[in-house]
Amino acid sequence: MIIARTNESKPFPLRIWTVTAVALLIVGIGLLVSALLVKQQLKQPVEWSADTGILQSAIALGGDQGFVVGNKSNKIVKMDKAGKELWSVPTTGTVTGLDLSPDGKRLAAVTEDRKMIIMDVETGKQTAAWDVPYPAVAVKWGENGNIAVSTGLAVKYRVYTYSDAGKRLTTFNQSIAVRALAFSDSGDLVIGTNASRVMVIDAEGAKKWEYLSRAPIVGVAVEGKTIYYLDNAGNYGALNDKGKLLWKRHVSGSFVGMNLSHTASRLVFVTEFGGVQLVSAKDGAFVTKLDIPELNKDGATSGISIAPEGDKVLVFGNLAVKVNVDAMANYDSKSGIHDSLTTILIIVLVLFVLAVVFRLLMGNPKSRKKTLLLFKRIWQSKTAYLLLVPTVALLLLFNYYPAVSAFYHAFTDWRPGARTHFIGWDNFKKVADSHYFYIGLKNLLYLVVTHFLKLAVPLAVAVIVFHIISEKVRYWIRNLFVFPIVMPSIVGVLVWQFIYDPNYGLLNNILTAVGLDSWTHSWLGETNTALTSIIFIGIPWISPFAFLVFYGGLIGIPNEIYEAGKLDGIGRFRRFFSLELPLLTAQVRLLLVLTFIGTMQEFNAIYLTTAGGPMDSTYVPALELYYSAAKFSDYGYASAIGVVLFAAILVGTLFQMRMKSSVEYDA
């Protein structure tokens, strides 16, 4: 009776959980939809990129029409956004400049062999062509229908304007090349010269005014009455139509081109090495930047062209990449919203699953009892969980997350801010094909073996010091071997860098002093001595840590064992090999494992002394990882190296633990 009553008196509110689960599901779907909506708005800054090989010139076409390029093999080629050739027209010389007519239907191309070609964009058919007096450098088709061409040779440089029928309208003489051209709304021509000058030329071909910047001008653009310029050294600014400076700023870098996005009111710069930077056209404030290092591959120099839509640019070099300027400016904030929506979605889904599981567990009286008990215990230990929150949160955020991220991104082409593409095993193939990685492994093998052997010294010293009879002497000598720990390890390496210095160093000075001049070397600078020199850093290799671990192990050996040894009358060598060494197995194994783990990640000593050189004689995988990330921004590849090293460390460590435990003694 009583039992029955307790069962009935607590009818578990199952319905609430069903409702909760359904509600969570609805919220989850809502979140999913909004995340997808944001994702749709979240345009990747890079709309597409096409593998084109090195380009001399390129121009973006509107919408999805692709682009037209002038490549190295004297061709004008129209490509779609996948880099597929739509038509191709041979020219007699390198195409140095391309521009579209205001209506976007015709194309003006200028060549190094003094030709101007007008062609139909759709078909590639030539509609007009004429000669220009000098090799062409750049071309600009103005809104008024006139075409400006910058040409020149040696000290004679000319900027011409033509009508679209080929009638020469004006000529402007310069003694230095003009790389930047633009038309103002009133039909004036704005030019930027290699003599650091921005000039405005009126319809009669007369100079109105000029402004002097600090380096060759690589880009000019006009918006209403404002003229913008950028020079090669990163000085940029805005001038009014009278040539008065409105503002100017500086950004470091080596720049090759600039364009103005009218719709986004941003200036877009491109650097020699494929960096795209956005600054506000209002006051020049920095907005954001994007690095596309492949643009620079194989020595290609980047260039930039604005797409007819006005908010997109085509950046080219070894690739052609269409970048959405608005998306680039908004990417950070929008992607933030998307990321947090995704996070909340995951949490809601987890809660949903929990609610369903809970509902199912509660539905069955048997599992209900167990579940309730567990929940009661969890609730009772809430303090414990609460106290663990900071620890667990930090570990999840800064240890687990990056570890998982490393494994995931090792399979991607990872350029944060630009793109993350899944590319399968490509990064690992790259590791396997990398000459440097193999050299690194070979050098690591030397380092690991020698580092292992070096442990003999602290072991021997620990034994000797341990057997010093006078307690006071023993104490002081022990401390003498520990004291060097006050020297930061980096300092230790740097002092040895001095010892090896070919001109000032201790080693060469000693050799000279004892008459062995011929033995002197540039120790770290010669291929055949560098690695050995690095191995000999820190001689006599008594690391305070290893010394103390061995010393502690010796203290731990029970006195009776020594007594027994003494009774047997064994000498110190036998005592060492048959008593102490076997009893120190745990310590030896610990130090071998730690040394192995440390050496596999060896970076500091090599980075500071030789940076992997000379040639590749001291290269190690950790250097390859560091350089591929810090210099080449190839984070996917760097992650793959990390994963490979992790696997090697894991296997090596487990192997050492197994191997040693088979001969373990019980003390």
Partner 1 sequence: MEKSSKALKAGTWSILGLLILLTYVPFVLMIVISFRNNGQIFTHFWSLPDPWIWRNYADVYKEISRNIFNSVTVSTIATAGVIFLSSLSGYVFGRLRFPGKEAIYYLILSLMMVPGILTIIPLFIQVTGYHLENTWYALILPWVAGGQVFGIILCRTFIGSLPGELFECARMDGASEFTSYFRIALPLILPVLITLAVINIVGNYNDFIWPLLVINSDEKQMVTVVLNSIGQKSGVNVTQYGLRMAGYIMSSLPLLILFSFGMKYYISGVTSGAVKG
> Site residues for partner 1, window 421-460 (CB under 8 A)?
457
- Distance in Å, CB of 365 to partner 1, minimum: 21
Q: Out of 509, 522, 529, 585, which residue is the one contacting partner 1 (CB under 8 A)?
A: 509
**Interface with partner 1 includes 485 (CB under 8 A)?**
yes
Distance (Å, rounded) from C-alpha 442 to C-alpha 310? 54
Q: Which residue has the tokens 């029970």?
A: 558
- Under the binding rule (CB under 8 A), the answer on residue 516 touching partner 1 is no
Least Å distance between CB 115 and partner 1? 48
40 is a contact residue toward partner 1 (CB under 8 A): no
Structure tokens at 650: 């894991």
User: Which parts of 61-206 are beta strand (E)?
Assistant: 67-71, 75-79, 85-90, 95-100, 106-111, 115-120, 126-131, 136-141, 147-153, 156-162, 168-174, 178-183, 189-193, 197-201
Applying CB under 8 A, among 333, 489, 527, 661 the residue interacting with partner 1 is 489
For 526, other C-beta atoms within 10 Å of its C-beta total 13
Q: Give the Cα separation of 65 and 594 in Å (integer).
A: 59
Measured from the Cβ of residue 525, the count of other Cβ atoms closer than 10 Å reads 16
Cβ proximity to partner 1: between 191 and 499 the closer is: 499
Single out the residue of 230, 361, 600, 606 in contact with partner 1 (rule: CB under 8 A): 600
For every residue of 249-291, which 3-state class applies, written as one string?
EECCCCEEEEEEECCCCEEEEEECCCEEEEEECCCCCEEEEEE
Least spacing, CB of residue 12 vs partner 1, in Å: 21
Considering the rule CB under 8 A, would residue 236 count as an interface residue with partner 1?
no
Please report, as residue ranges, which positions from 524 to 583 form the binding site for partner 1 (by CB under 8 A). Answer: 539-540, 542, 545, 548-549, 551-553, 555-556, 572
Per CB under 8 A, the list member of 504, 567, 631, 663 interacting with partner 1 is: 504
Task: Provide the CB-side half-sphere exposure for 129 (13 A, CA).
Answer: 13
- Which of 421, 484, 517, 651 binds partner 1 (CB under 8 A)? It is 484
638 binds partner 1 (CB under 8 A): yes
- Cβ–Cβ < 8 Å for 174, 152: yes
Segment interacting with partner 1 (CB under 8 A) among 137-145, 164-172, 322-330, 497-505: 497-505
Using CB under 8 A as the binding rule, the residues of this chain from 366 to 395 that contact partner 1 are 374, 377-378, 381, 383-385, 387-388, 390-392, 394-395
In whole angstroms, how close is the CB of 341 to partner 1 at the nearest point? 16
> Quick check: 657 binds partner 1 (CB under 8 A)?
no
Alpha carbon 568 to chain centroid distance? 65
Q: Does 246 interact with partner 1 (rule: CB under 8 A)?
A: no
CB of 389 to partner 1, least distance (A): 10
d(CA 256, CA 303): 6
Binding to partner 1 by residue 464, rule CB under 8 A?
Answer: yes
d(CA 26, CA 345): 11
**Per-residue x/- marks for partner 1, 166-185, CB under 8 A?**
--------------------
Q: How far apart are CA 128 and CA 145, in angstroms?
A: 14
Q: Which stretch binds partner 1 (CB under 8 A): 69-77, 182-190, 225-233, 622-630?
A: 622-630
**CB 285 to partner 1: min, Å:** 17
Strand-by-strand arrangement of the 178-183 sheet: 178-183, 189-193, 197-201, 207-212
Residue that is written with structure tokens 């009014």 in the block: 240
